Amino acid sequence: MTRNHRQQGGALRGLLMLLVAVAVIIGGMAWLSPKSLPKVLRVHLLGEPEDPRDDPTSPQYAPAVYRWKDAQGRTQITDQPPEGRPYETVRISPDTNVVPSPARGGDE
Residue 64's beta-bridge partner residues? 91
Lowest mean pLDDT among 1-5, 56-60, 85-89: 1-5
For residue 99, give the H/E element and its range: none
Q: Lay out the sheet containing 64-69: strands in order across.
A: 75-78, 64-69, 88-91
The answer as to whether 43 is a domain residue is yes
Do the beta carbons of residue 95 and residue 63 sit within 8 Å? no
**Structural domain contains residue 30:** yes
82 and 64 inside one domain: yes
Q: Is 44 inside a domain boundary?
A: yes
Residue 108: pLDDT band (50, 70, 90) is very low
Q: Is residue 20 part of a domain?
A: yes
pTM to 2 decimal places: 0.43
The continuous run of DSSP H or E covering 65 comes out as strand 64-69
Query: Is 73 inside any structural domain?
Result: yes
Q: How many domains does the chain fold into?
A: 2
Per-residue model confidence (pLDDT) at position 38 = 77
In a domain, 17, yes or no: yes
- Are 17 and 33 found together in one domain? yes
Whether 64 is covered by a domain: the verdict is: yes
Domain coverage including residue 12: 3-48
